C-alpha cells in the first residue's frame, strides 16, 4: 500500500507538470470584458457563479471518475483526454453511463466513455469524435471512434492468462470494427498528455479524412462485461 501511495503521488506530480506544459499560453477572453469594466457588480457576480459551477461540477466529475475508473493511471488519462480534447473539439462530454458532464453538442464533439461496455467486453475508454455539417441537402453527421487501453503494472499483464485475455479482447474488438491504442503504464507515467494527444490526433485525422458518413461500430450489451 505504501509503494502504491508513493507511485500515485508521483503520478500526480507528473500530471501537474504535464498540465502546465499542455495548456495554451493564452485563453479566449470573455466577450463581456468591456461590460465588466463598466459594471464591477456584474463582473463579481459572474466570477462567483463561475466558481460555484466549477466547484460543484468538478466535485461531481471527480466522484464519478473515481468510482468508474479502475486505477490512478486511468483517472489521469481521463482528465488528460478531456483537457487535451479542446485541441480537436469545441464540445467535450464525459459520459459515465448514469451521468454525463460537459458541453452541449457542437459542430465537433468529443465523447469520452470510461469503462465502456462493448458487447461482451469492457474497454478502459471509448472515444467518439463527432462532426455535424450543415449542407444544402441537410445535416451530415460523421464519426470516428477509438478504444484506449491503459496497462498499469498492478492492473494488467500480471499473469500469462491475463495477458492472453487482453490480446483476445483486442482481436474481438478489432473484428467488430474498433481501432485500439494500448498504452503501457510507464508511457502514461512519463507523459500522460502526450499519450492523450496522440490518441486524439489519430481520432481527428480519421474523422476529417472521412469521405462519407461513418458507420461506426456501436455494440452494447446488457450482459456482464469481461474485465
Which ranges constitute the DSSP H helices of the chain? 2-22, 33-38, 40-68, 72-84, 160-175, 185-208
Alpha carbon of 123 to those of 52, 86, 155, 179, 196: distances in Å? 33, 23, 13, 12, 16
Judge whether 125 and 103 are in contact, CB under 8 Å: no
pLDDT at 167 (0 to 100): 83
How does pLDDT run across 63-96, given as a tens digit for each residue?
898 899 988 899 999 999 999 999 999 999 999 9
Residues 195-224, mean pLDDT to the nearest whole number: 69
Q: Is the pLDDT of residue 207 over 60?
A: yes
Q: What is the pTM of this model?
A: 0.74
Judge whether 182 and 151 are in contact, CB under 8 Å: yes
Q: List the grid coordinates of 78.
A: 481521463
Q: Is the pLDDT of residue 211 over 70?
A: no
Q: List the grid coordinates of 22.
A: 499542455
**CA 29 from centroid of its chain's CA atoms:** 25
Q: Buried b vs exposed e over 73-84: b needs ≥16 C-beta within 10 Å?
A: bbbbbbbbbbbb
Q: List the grid coordinates of 196.
A: 492523450
Q: Is the pLDDT of residue 138 over 60?
A: yes
pLDDT at 27 (0 to 100): 46
Residues 195-215, mean pLDDT to the nearest whole number: 81
Q: Please give the radius of gyration of the chain, using alpha carbons only, rounded to the nearest integer.
A: 19
CA–CA separation, 178 vs 169, rounded Å?
11
pLDDT at 31 (0 to 100): 52
How does pLDDT run across 15-63, given as a tens digit for each residue?
666 555 555 544 444 455 555 566 677 667 767 776 776 667 778 888 8
CA–CA separation, 191 vs 86, rounded Å?
18
Q: How are strands ordered across the β-sheet holding 108-118?
A: 100-102, 91-95, 108-118, 121-135, 138-151, 180-184
Q: Is the pLDDT of residue 191 over 60?
A: yes
pLDDT at 100 (0 to 100): 92
Residue 207's contacts (CB-CB under 8 Å, 6 or more residues apart) are 108, 129, 130, 131, 142, 143, 144, 214
pLDDT at 143 (0 to 100): 93
Residue 113's contacts (CB-CB under 8 Å, 6 or more residues apart) are 95, 96, 97, 125, 126, 127, 128
pLDDT at 8 (0 to 100): 58
pLDDT at 110 (0 to 100): 96
Amino acid at each position: 500500500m505504501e509503494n502504491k501511495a508513493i507511485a500515485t503521488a508521483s503520478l500526480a506530480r507528473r500530471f501537474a507538470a504535464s498540465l502546465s506544459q499542455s495548456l495554451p499560453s493564452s485563453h479566449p477572453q470573455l466577450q463581456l470584458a468591456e461590460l465588466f469594466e463598466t459594471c464591477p457588480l456584474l463582473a463579481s457576480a459572474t466570477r462567483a457563479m463561475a466558481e460555484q459551477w466549477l466547484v460543484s461540477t468538478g466535485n461531481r466529475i471527480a466522484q464519478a471518475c473515481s468510482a468508474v475508473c479502475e486505477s490512478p493511471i486511468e483517472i489521469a488519462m481521463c482528465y488528460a483526454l478531456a483537457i487535451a480534447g479542446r485541441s480537436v473539439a469545441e464540445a467535450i462530454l464525459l459520459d459515465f453511463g448514469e451521468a454525463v458532464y460537459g458541453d452541449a453538442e457542437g459542430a465537433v464533439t468529443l465523447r469520452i466513455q470510461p469503462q465502456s461496455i462493448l458487447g461482451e467486453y469492457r474497454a478502459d475508454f471509448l472515444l467518439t469524435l463527432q462532426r455535424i455539417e450543415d449542407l444544402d441537402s441537410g445535416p451530415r453527421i460523421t464519426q470516428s471512434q477509438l478504444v484506449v487501453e491503459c496497462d498499469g503494472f498492478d492492473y494488467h499483464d500480471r499473469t500469462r492468462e491475463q495477458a492472453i485475455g487482453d490480446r483476445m479482447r483486442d482481436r474481438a474488438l478489432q473484428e467488430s470494427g474498433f481501432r485500439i491504442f494500448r498504452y503501457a503504464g510507464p508511457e502514461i507515467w512519463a507523459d500522460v498528455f502526450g499519450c492523450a494527444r496522440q490518441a486524439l490526433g489519430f481520432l481527428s485525422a480519421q474523422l476529417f479524412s472521412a469521405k462519407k458518413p461513418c458507420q461506426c461500430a456501436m455494440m452494447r450489451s446488457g450482459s456482464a462485461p469481461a474485465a
